[in-house]
Structure 1
Amino acid sequence: MKKYLSIWLLGVMAWACAGTAYAEGAIDDAVKRGTLRVGMDPTYMPFEMTNKRGEIIGFEVDVLKAMAKAMGVKLELVSTGLDGIIPALLTGKFDLIGSGLTLTQERNLRINFSEPFIVVGQTLLIRKELADTVKSYKDLNSPDYRLTSKFGTTGELVAKKLIAKAQYHGYDNEPEAVLDVVNGKADAFIYDSPYNVVAMEKLGNGKLVYLDQPFTYEPLAFGLKKGDHDSLNWINNFLHQIREDGTYERIHNKWFKSTTWLKEME
């Protein structure tokens, strides 16, 4: 009997050790390392972008700085193209994704998401000449129109799903796509509302009209590997904390209630 009891106890101890090892997730690793590594494509104003001094700044960057401070670690931003950012996370190149990533069901099959830190929606920048004929995305659903956005974004997905009859040509970055409309080569640019507000002022050159009514619901969240529940718990509690103590409001107002930061981009 003692023999079987000993075997059973060894089995329980092994299971407990395995469970403890499994619980070691991205946040635990970052604390031990002293650095939180975040994958980011720094091209999405005003969430993450590179200023004229070569520094990555933005709303989401400041949220991540507050996160790293709460963990007592340094923040390391790993510049990664959006189209390869999920594979890079899965192969361990960084701890989490913080790149204005929309929580979609397709992406959620591959990775876990935190609670959203902001909700945005797709909006349109159209050629000024179309102001009287195009009032919503539905008016663009014709082969007569040419749409553009950034490859790999929900703007591209929405164009191909909701405005499928129109022609589509994407770009590797947002400014090129916007300038396609400014220069009359495309009729409309589809992208998240916060970016379009900035692009209208920075790139519009008086040749665009902003249709500011979002026509999609897009929660943005941090992405982590599947099964990392301890890290999700910590990040979600962090988001609750900064919303209640005023940190989130301060950061939000800095980037969305003011455009003084645009001077850093010139």
Structure 2
Amino acid sequence: MKFRTFLLFFCLVISSIIPAEEIRFLYNRNYYPFEFTNEQGKADGFVIDVLFALAREAAYEITFIPGNWKQREEDLYNGDGYFTTGFLNHSSHDSIITSKILFSLPFSLIYRSGISPHSLKDLDGRTPLFSSGDSSEQVLYTYLKPEKVIRTKSWSDAVKALDTGYGDFAIISRIQKDLIIGEYHEKLSVMEEFHLVLPYVIYTTRWDKEKLEKLNNSLSIIRASGEFDRITGKWFAEENPLITASGKKRSLLYLIPAAIACIILLTIYKKRKVRL
């Protein structure tokens, strides 16, 4: 009995001495409220909280390194053992792999007065505006190949510049659009025909496939435990702009009672029709 107690104590001591395996995440320092550098100079945001939860569940020590999308892309492709996040964009690099979808986000296209586009083709030759290094750059290059782009320090600066006639249009997430479109509603419009929903994932190289699989398992666990929903509620208390797997399941569950009721009513109607 004493030996078993000693062995258990010894294992606990050893496990506390051995440091947890580290994973390094390159994050966007200017993509509020998803991932950004706060006033204390630390990584913050909805995605950061989710990554902390995933790392904790997988027993990883997580380190965040600030940058923008272009910098992260280069570091990732160099194969330095980094992880990063971003919108799913099929890479030409065979070494890049992605996680399960963390969430999906709807996007809007806003344009200045003086142009009236009805489709993306109408924007050929036009100048887009977006925040330098912002993830919206990924969205832009997925659908358009502009000859010229204008970069600003932040997406809010991009919208202000667009309002003054500097540039023609911008692609921003729906939550960002809702934050600013009211302020600039007289000069800016939303292209109603533009519908785009992009999944947000974790990127890494195939050499870190095992670590990525552990993070995927952690994602399933924090969804099932409600931790993911708690983090979502923290950042999007009033209105949740995210499209998540759990949200889709709930929607389907809500449809089941309605479907059963329809079947019952249809059966009653047929029986009455036969009697008549």
TM-score class, shorter-chain normalisation, is 0.5 to 0.7
Give the CA deviation at 1:107: 5.5
Check the 8 A contact 2:43/2:66 in 1, yes or no. Answer: no
Is 2:168 aligned against 1:187? yes
Is 2:212 aligned against 1:219? no
1:138 — aligned with what?
120
Give the CA deviation at 1:153: 5.7
RMSD value, Cα: 3.4
Corresponding residue to 1:250 among 230, 248, 252: 230
Change (3 A) 1:167 1:94: closer
In structure 1, the gaps of 5 or more residues are 1-30, 260-266
- Rg larger for: 2
Change (3 A) 1:106 1:151: farther
Change (3 A) 1:38 1:157: closer
2:13 — aligned with what?
none
Give the CA deviation at 1:192: 3.0
1:7 — aligned with what?
none
Give the CA deviation at 1:111: 1.0
Q: TM-score, normalised by structure 1?
A: 0.67
Is 2:128 aligned against 1:147? yes
Is 2:41 aligned against 1:54? yes
The runs of at least 4 aligned residues of structure 1 exceeding 6 Å deviation read none
Change (3 A) 1:66 1:169: same
1:75 — aligned with what?
62
Q: What is the distance in 2 between the residues matched to 1:154 and 1:64? A: 17
- Structure 1 counterpart of 2:23, one-letter code: L
Check the 8 A contact 1:124/1:137 in 2, yes or no. Answer: no
Give the CA deviation at 1:76: 1.9
Check the 8 A contact 1:35/1:75 in 2, yes or no. Answer: yes
Q: What is the distance in 2 between the residues matched to 1:107 and 1:71? A: 29
Is 2:174 aligned against 1:174? no
Q: What is the distance in 1 between the residues matched to 2:184 and 2:217? A: 39
Change (3 A) 1:226 1:135: same
1:87 — aligned with what?
74
Check the 8 A contact 1:46/1:194 in 2, yes or no. Answer: no
Q: What is the distance in 2 between the residues matched to 1:174 and 1:77? A: 22
CA deviations 1:62-109 (Å, max 9, x no partner) are 1011122223444321112310213323546554113xx122212663
Is 2:212 aligned against 1:237? no
SS where residue 244 of structure 1 aligns?
helix
In structure 2, the gaps of 5 or more residues are 1-17, 240-276
Change (3 A) 1:256 1:204: farther
Give the CA deviation at 1:46: 1.4
1:40 — aligned with what?
27
Give the CA deviation at 1:241: 1.2
Give the CA deviation at 1:114: 0.4
Q: What is the distance in 1 between the residues matched to 2:127 and 2:225? A: 46
- Structure 2 counterpart of 1:86, one-letter code: E
Q: TM-score, normalised by structure 2?
A: 0.65
Give the CA deviation at 1:123: 1.4
Give the CA deviation at 1:234: 0.9
SS where residue 104 of structure 2 aligns?
strand
Q: What is the distance in 2 between the residues matched to 1:87 and 1:116? A: 22
